[in-house]
Amino acid sequence: GENVEQHPSTLSVQEGDSAVIKCTYSDSASNYFPWYKQELGKGPQLIIDIRSNVGEKKDQRIAVTLNKTAKHFSLHITETQPEDSAVYFCAASISGAGTALIFGKGTTLSVSS
């Protein structure tokens, strides 16, 4: 079945450094790739997304890149701040399943000041 692999599982950076999280997906028909941030005790919140017809998208300190040929996409956070500390999930759309998603297993990002 479809699968999304996410690396690393944990990431520790100093405030102001950049953080990069990488995902690969298996379903070549996937065409929508969101990233979610989850804080303790809360539901996931969308932080950025990208569609298969776009290679890169940026929103202030956050950017996502997509390589459809290699079936991988990455999240880049620049100038990290302590409030960026959370669990981040990548996801890919499941072809033929409406807007349902398959998720990676998550990356716990810790930003120390």
Partner 1 sequence: NAGVTQTPKFQVLKTGQSMTLQCAQDMNHEYMSWYRQDPGMGLRLIHYSVGAGITDQGEVPNGYNVSRSTTEDFPLRLLSAAPSQTSVYFCASTQGVGTDTQYFGPGTRLTVL
Q: Tell which one of 45, 67, 81, 112 touches partner 1 (CB under 8 A).
A: 45
The phi, psi pair for 82, rounded to 5°, reads: -55, -35
- Shortest Cβ 16–partner 1 spacing (Å): 29
Total H helices, total E strands in the chain: 0, 11
Q: Is 106 in the site for partner 1 (CB under 8 A)?
A: yes
Please tell me the total number of residues recorded for the chain in this structure. Answer: 113
CB of 104 vs partner 1, minimal distance in Å? 6
Show the site string, 74-93: x = touches partner 1 by CB under 8 A, - = not. Answer: ---------------x-x-x
One of 20, 22, 27, 32 touching partner 1 (CB under 8 A): 32
- Examine residue 27 and tell whether it contacts partner 1 (CB under 8 A): no
Chain residues binding partner 1 by CB under 8 A are: 1, 4, 6, 9, 32, 34, 36, 42-46, 49, 89, 91, 93-94, 97-106
